[in-house]
Amino acid sequence: MKNQHIILAIAVAGLVGISGYGLYRLGISQGMQGSGVKDASAQAAAGAGDDRKVLYWHDPMVPAQKFDKPGKSPFMDMQLVPVYADGADQGAVSISPRVQQNLGIRTAEVIRGQLVAAVAAVGSVAYDERDLVLVQARSNAFVEKLYVRAALDRVNKGQALAELYVPEWVAAQEEFLTVKRMQASGIDRLLDGARQRMRLAGMTDAQIAAVESSGKLHPRITINAPAGGVVAELAVREGMSLLAGAPMFRINGLSRIWVNADIPENLAAQLRIGNAVEARSPSLPGTVFKGKINAILPQVDMTTRTLRARIELANPAGQLVPGMFATLNFSTDARPDILLVPSEAVIQTGTRTVVMVAQSAGHFLPVEVETGTESNGQTEIRKGLQAGQKVVISGQFLIDSEASLKATATRMDDTPAAGADQAGGMTHHASGKVEKIEQEDITLSHGPIASLQWGAMTMAFKLPLGGLPRNVEVGDMVIFDFRQSKDGSYQLTSISPLAGTGVAKTSALPAGAKK
């Protein structure tokens, strides 16, 4: 009697398994028809009657990988899907004209033009060290009188600075005058020797001529300013004794001035020596000083990551003085015939740069671009766009929200990579049949999965982290949950036999029997 019950249970389990598999195959057939999944011949037939231009084929689960002809996907057990030139692909979002008006969407054309980059910086005014004069004592002397008594006093060229008494000059001049009074032959050679000794004492030719013409001693000398400017350094005082070569005055000219500006490292490549510069100072509102880049110093500040540019400005009225701040505008070389878009069309996502391209029939497609120089509200596009295309300059983020609501496969802030998780890490539920079990993978034939917009297909999944349940075997009908890993593969989170298959099969075995 007991054996009859066991046989009856096995028969019932078999009937349920057969009926379940029949229902599964029916669901797969209907799912394939309902989802529009066709075999290669059906796709070829459909494509033959389609006049649209195919750009490329791709696997919807791996949209970044493109193929130049139709065929079977190397990633999944399914046919490749065409992407058409009209932009009606999974990367685009379609918005009706009424919704576009409500979103305030505006577009602009990608154009070719000339861009003159304007680089702005701030700097500090400094002396032009090439316009520097140093006044030194030519002989040992005493400072008897000082006409300039404070540093930073302005002086003019030829103005008296100090009066010195030079004892060494007295002996040299007396020797010269004594020889000159002599009445003897060969006196010219002696006079030349006396003149040379006066020169060695530090006297100039003009001072020697003055002694010779007057016939009197000139033990004192008046030091005059060799150039106009500011006494940047005053090293003498009345009553001081000086040695030959001792510095007395340092005079900086003010007709030209330097401005030292710190230029960001990424902008320094746009500047050249000789480029025109306009400078403005807060202390002189309305006044514009024009100059040029005199030098770009070959050293980067490790703290601020800037290079120092030295700008030379004309300062005829002496209005700019060292220590002032100045705002600088640099004129760079014009770059003709480059692609330009309004800067407001460019979106920086952190990992890439994107613009929204407006296509026909209300389609919008996010396109990754490579940008260049930005100036005057325009940005250079080096890669990603063509002249004549339309880009969105207002409402880009609202379009992205619309794309999110419509489950668009390509998002502006996604990083394009093969196998990218289009479902945002969601857990998906499905049912299917176990085709093959390997050490790390299990191959399942599953029906349509609505959450991923997949049709019925056969594909491999990674085994659950806890391993495969013991009651799951090849040929079983199972239900399972899975999600996409960071590497693009799909991993099961749970799997169990459908009621009446693996469970019934296990329960029907006698106690202690092996599977």
Whether 248 shows a pLDDT value over 90: the answer reads: yes
81-102: b (≥16 Cβ within 10 Å) or e: bbbeeebbbbbbbbbeeeebee
pLDDT for 165 equals: 92
pLDDT digits (tens, 9 = 90+) for 349-359: 777 888 888 88
pLDDT for 124 equals: 93
pLDDT for 63 equals: 58
pLDDT for 44 equals: 42
pTM of the model: 0.46
pLDDT for 164 equals: 92
Instruction: Kindly state the average pLDDT of the residues 200-204.
Output: 86
pLDDT for 247 equals: 93
pLDDT for 162 equals: 94
pLDDT digits (tens, 9 = 90+) for 100-154: 777 778 889 998 887 776 788 889 999 998 889 999 998 899 999 999 999 989 9
CATH 2.40.50.100 range(s) for the chain read 132-252
Q: Phi then psi for 501, rounded to 5 degrees? A: -110, -95
Instruction: List Cβ neighbours of 273 (8 Å cut-off, separation of 6 or more).
Output: 293, 294, 295, 296
Q: Which amino acid is at 361?
A: A
Topology classification of domain 132-252: OB fold (Dihydrolipoamide Acetyltransferase, E2P) (2.40.50)
pLDDT for 367 equals: 85
pLDDT for 163 equals: 92
CATH 2.40.420.20 range(s) for the chain read 93-116+336-405
- pLDDT averaged over every residue in the chain: 77
User: Looking at per-residue confidence, does 99 or 441 come out higher?
Assistant: 441
pLDDT digits (tens, 9 = 90+) for 372-402: 877 778 888 988 888 889 999 887 776 665 5
pLDDT for 435 equals: 92
Instruction: Kindly state the average pLDDT of the residues 244-272.
Output: 88
pLDDT digits (tens, 9 = 90+) for 6-26: 444 444 444 444 444 444 444
Instruction: List Cβ neighbours of 149 (8 Å cut-off, separation of 6 or more).
Output: 234
Instruction: Kindly state the average pLDDT of the residues 188-212.
Output: 87
- pLDDT-based confidence at 92, cuts 50/70/90? low
pLDDT for 84 equals: 67
Considering the chain, what percentage of its residues have pLDDT values greater than 90?
17
Is the CB of residue 416 less than 8 Å from the CB of residue 64? yes
pLDDT for 88 equals: 46
pLDDT for 236 equals: 93
Topology classification of domain 93-116+336-405: 2.40.420
pLDDT for 62 equals: 64
Instruction: Kindly state the average pLDDT of the residues 490-513.
Output: 59
Is the CB of residue 418 less than 8 Å from the CB of residue 64? yes
For 213, counting Cβ atoms within 10 Å of its Cβ (0-12 exposed, 13-18 middle, 19+ buried), the class is: exposed
- pLDDT-based confidence at 69, cuts 50/70/90? confident
At the second CATH level, the architecture of 1-36+421-515 is Beta Barrel (2.40)
pLDDT digits (tens, 9 = 90+) for 435-480: 999 888 899 998 888 877 787 888 888 998 888 888 889 999 999 9
pLDDT for 99 equals: 73
CATH 2.40.50.320 range(s) for the chain read 1-36+421-515
pLDDT digits (tens, 9 = 90+) for 141-169: 999 999 999 998 999 999 999 999 998 88
pLDDT for 407 equals: 40
**CA atoms in the 13 A half-sphere facing the CB of 102:** 7
Whether 502 shows a pLDDT value over 60: the answer reads: no
Long-range contacts of the stretch 25-28 (C-beta < 8 A, 24+): 27/447, 28/445, 28/447, 28/448, 28/456
